[in-house]
Amino acid sequence: MTATLSEEQMDARATSVPTVVARPWERRSEKVQSWQRDRLALVYVRQSTPQQVHDHQESTRLQYGLTGRAQDLGWAAERVVVIDDDLGKSGASADGRPGFQRLVTEVSLDHVGIILGVEMSRLARSGKDWHQLLELCALFRTLIADLDGVYDPAEYNDRLLLGLKGTMSEAELHLLKQRMHQGRLNKARRGELAIPVPTGYLRRPSGEVTFDPDEQVQAVVRLIFGQFAELGTLSAVLRYLVRHEIQLGIRVRAGPGTGDLEWHRPNRMTLQNLLRNPIYAGAYAYGRRQVDPRRQRPGRPSSGRRVIDPEGWLVLLPDRLPAYITWEQYERNLARLRANQARADAIGAVRSGPSLLAGLVVCGRCGHRMTVRYSGVVTRHNYLCGRVATDYGGAWCQHLAGPCLDRFVSQQVLTALEPAALELSLAAASQVEQERAALDRLWQQRLERAAYEAERAERQYQVAEPENRLVVRQLERTWEEKLVARQQLDEAYHRFAREQPRLLSPTEQATIRRLAADIPALWDAPTTTDADRKAIIRQIVAQVTVAVQGESERVQVTITWAGGVQTAGELVRPVARVDQLSYYPRLVERVRALAAEGLSMAAIAARLNAEGFRPPKRRERFGPQGVHDLLQRLENRTPRRRSEQPVDLGVHEWWLADLARATGMPPVTLFSWIRRGWVTGRQQAEPPRRWILWADEAELEQLRERHRRPISYYTRHPWVAAP
């Protein structure tokens, strides 16, 4: 039996089921669940640069129009949120994109049902950021929609397609960057890529780089290079510029005043960039600062750049630009800057302190640079080679007192300078006059500029209509300010001219010749500082190699001069113990012979001094007490006062003199250790109140080890010798 529908039933069915033509995304809307519509729909709006936001406004309107699509998918208008915080920002990274970070946060809080964007590149062009977002969306069942459809990251097929789109988006950005970088590099290899020019240069509208037309700007740049060649350190050049009130002329690079000349006070970073820039040597360079990903910081896309050596530059074209200095002088400046750094392998800059050879002394045993250590209430210094002990935990290589080595090298330097006394006087006079002439030219240029600005303000005031008092009053104030500045500058110049005339007077010339003729007197003059002496030594001495003969007082010294010539010699250093003296066996034999003759201590001391024997440490002559201590040491006995009664010592107890002989140190040193608390002992209650010290075998060995260490060791490591 076939069931048939009546005409009324067919009409009713046709009326109850309307025919609707669904749009493409609505045909795939079955992925959208009702519970997802209860969450937010986020519309992410982004364009890469501010220029794109300004020029491509249709793309912006298209992205904002996605709010309508969210409503077509079933979201209420009040549940649709637009995130446009990242307009004008690149999608290469999540750093610096607060809008994307807000989106990820909302997804992580399970607040988002769907994310809408025109294409996947709007969300992220980094595989790391994109896949992190996919993981979160899959975990919280958040949908992603673009112009092609709606995707569920929890489904494998959609996840695969979204991953492919993210990969293509990242690859697209890489290809764009690669093409742009290769284009810049090819243009730079031809020397046609426009790079910012520093102070002292100007780029014309045609692209040609020339000297700055302002003579004062050029004069300041040349003065900086000249002073660095003379003074040798960046800090000294900065102090020189500040002392003479010299400013740097900087051209404005952006804003309404682009190209205008402004005068700024010098600073350390500007001077450092000036000395390191190869443009001043006439070279076109590209790629001097390259990005190291390990140094990049979140939120700072421009960070991570570091200056590399010229060997690693991408482009280096010499003799392409006008030059202030030669390429050889530029390389010398870089070498000087590296040598001024406080590093173990560098000579370092001239610093305060009495050590005249800091950075120049090299160990003759291991070849490492020796360091300077200061100790004592009265500042004394030692030269110490502790590289092996510091880096590898080994023993100290060698050390010696600094003053004796400083005197030896200073005498050699003065001897080397003596034949050139006349040339030095002439060079000094010429240098002083050249420096004063350069400063005078700068002052004249500053006066000329001040006069021009005052005259210009006057012309502006004269051409103004007298009736327009609103303008005239301001022009009048400006004119008065320029006149006051011109007068103050003129007064300052006259003070400078009185204090430092351009030409040396006959009295000054005679003083320079007299001082140059008597170089030792000039060297020891109170007005000559240790920094001055160090600077003189470094001009002619390249290296001082020292080698102590065992533990004796004799030191072999080799001076390598700046030209490569070497001078060898031997000096005598102070030592701590008498048995360290190289002539100790002869001294012992002679003292015993003189004592056998029945001579007094004073007579023995006089004979020893007459025969050329010298005591250890810093004493110049033997005295009666020194001879007495030496005899007591040789006879291995301690004199006892008549009133002293015999005392029975306990186990491991010593008299002070006996323990001093057992450890090989002077009694006075051991007594100072008692005062510091480095030795355990007790003092007799009754006269003569002698010290009784305690030391077993382990303590004896520890005392000997302490005594073998240099004095500066305890200054740097006071905790090592603590009880």
- Active centre residues (catalytic): 48
208 closest CA partner among 194, 222, 187: 194
Which string of DSSP letters, residue by residue, matches 8-38? HHHHHHHHHS------HHHHTGGG--HHHHT
Residue 335, token pair as written in the block: 């070498």
Q: Are 47 and 60 in contact (CB under 8 A)?
A: yes
Residue closest to 177 by CA, chosen among 93, 92, 118: 92
Q: Three-state SS across 500-540?
A: CCCCCCHHHHHHHHHHHHCHHHHHCCCCCCHHHHHHHHHHH
Nearest-10 Cα torsion for 346, 349, 351, 357? 50
Q: What is the distance between the alpha carbons of residues 530 and 467, in angstroms, rounded to a whole number?
A: 68
Strands (E), 468-618: 541-548, 554-561, 566-572
Return the closest-CA partner of residue 199 out of 266, 140, 133, 152.
Answer: 266
Handedness of CA 433, 439, 445, 446 (dihedral sign): negative
CB-based contact 164:43 (threshold 8 Å): no
3-state secondary structure at position 93: coil
Q: What letter represents residue 282's amino acid?
A: G
Q: Helix axis angle, 584-596 relative to 624-635, nearest 10°? A: 100
Give yes or no for a cis peptide into 98 (omega within 30° of 0).
no
Helix, strand or coil for residue 449?
Answer: helix
Please list, in sequence order, all residues whose beta carbon lies within 8 angstroms of the beta carbon of residue 445, skipping any fewer than 6 positions away: 215, 216, 219
For residues 250, 251, 257, 263, the Cα torsion angle rounded to the nearest 10 degrees is: 20
Q: For residue 303, give every residue at least 6 positions away whose Cβ sits within 8 Å of its Cβ, in sequence order, or none.
A: 295, 296, 297
Q: How many other β-carbons are positioned within 10 Å of the β-carbon of residue 687?
A: 9
Q: Give me the sign of the Cα torsion angle 248, 251, 254, 260.
A: positive
Instruction: Evaluate whether 276 touches 71 at the Cβ level (below 8 Å).
Output: no
Q: What share of the chain is helix, strand, coil (3-state, %, to 5)?
A: 50, 15, 35
- 104 three-state secondary structure: helix
Question: Closest Cα to residue 104, out of 84, 130, 126?
Answer: 130
What residues does 146 pair with on adjacent strands?
Answer: 149
- Contact status, residue 370 vs residue 312, Cβ threshold 8 Å: no
| 653 SS3 class | strand
Contacts 24+ apart (CB under 8 A), 708-711: 709/396, 710/373, 710/382, 710/384, 710/396, 710/399, 711/375, 711/376, 711/382
